[in-house]
Amino acid sequence: MTIEQRLQGKVAVITGGGSGIGKGAALKLAKHGAVVCMLDRTPENANKVKKQIESMGGRAEVFETDVSVPEMVEKGMRQAAEKFGKIDIVFANAGINGKWAALEELSVDDWDQTLSINLRGTFLTLKYAVPYLKKNGGGSIIITSSVNGNRIFSNTGATAYSSSKAGQVAMMKMTALELGPSRIRVNAICPGAIDTNINDNTDISPTLDDVKMEVEFPEGSQPLEGHAGSIEQCGDLVLFLASDESSHISGTEIYIDGAESLIRG
């Protein structure tokens, strides 16, 4: 087997595959032989990734899905399984920064929006994917959490975001226990700052200008490279967790942050 065939014959579903970390994973998994189904609420971007995969000689499909809507997630998984016959790999990655604000300024709607996409969306993704993985005799689920839900709590204003990201880690651990006997592995990746568009859409309270996430790090604050990570580096980690090379790894969160969280946590 050559390295390019590590995921030959596998079908991967990626939520939020049209941009950023999901896009990096879609391209990486496709490069290594997987058929990729992208469930994204922005199909225009996901269709560009599909074209890129096809130009590499791979196969991909896009199903417009809002991960916070149960009927859409159920339909997206069904469409993926019907189109390609099965699902082996699930990358529950779609997410938003949402509103960052002091606790008293954070409205209930702000809280609900962040939690409904990041945490409820992850729950729905797993809920509707697992029957297909079980039918297939097992599989690998990877969840995109964040250093913010686990190690870094120095960004004041990120209460909703960090709560959603910590909840994803708890969900990962519970489901790894529950689904192990079905030969389904569940792991989480916890990125530090990664160079994507997510911060462009962040709604930061005017009183919290100082909490804006930095993509470039002041010298020495990110020990390894001194700058944000790339979607390609995240794709490599997702590839590892999706492949049989991680066959004994489940219930684990892996930090991909250049050791940033060890000094900022």
Q: Please report, as ranges, the residues that interact with ligand NAD according to CB under 6 A.
A: 15-16, 18-22, 40-42, 45, 65-68, 93-96, 117, 121, 144, 146, 191, 193-194, 196-198
Minimum distance between the CB of residue 2 and ligand NAD, rounded to whole angstroms?
A: 29
* 136/168 with CB nearer ligand NAD: 168
Q: Which of 196, 127, 208, 197 is nearest to 160 (CA)?
A: 208
Minimum distance between the CB of residue 40 and ligand NAD, rounded to whole angstroms?
A: 5
Contact 185, 246 (CB under 8 A): yes
* 136/151 with CB nearer ligand NAD: 151
Catalytic residue of the set 128, 132, 161, 255: 161
Contact 222, 258 (CB under 8 A): yes
Calpha distance 35→29 (Å, rounded) = 8
Minimum distance between the CB of residue 9 and ligand NAD, rounded to whole angstroms?
A: 26
Question: 92 in helix, strand or coil?
Answer: strand
* 93/136 with CB nearer ligand NAD: 93
Contact 40, 17 (CB under 8 A): yes
For residue 66, CA distances in Å to 7, 126, 192, 257, 262 come to 27, 14, 25, 28, 34
* 20/157 with CB nearer ligand NAD: 20
Angle at 35 between CA 31 and CA 41, to 5 degrees: 105
Calpha distance 212→183 (Å, rounded) = 41
Calpha distance 70→78 (Å, rounded) = 12
Minimum distance between the CB of residue 190 and ligand NAD, rounded to whole angstroms?
A: 7
Active site residue 161: yes
Minimum distance between the CB of residue 114 and ligand NAD, rounded to whole angstroms?
A: 10
* 79/93 with CB nearer ligand NAD: 93
As annotated, the active-site residues are 161
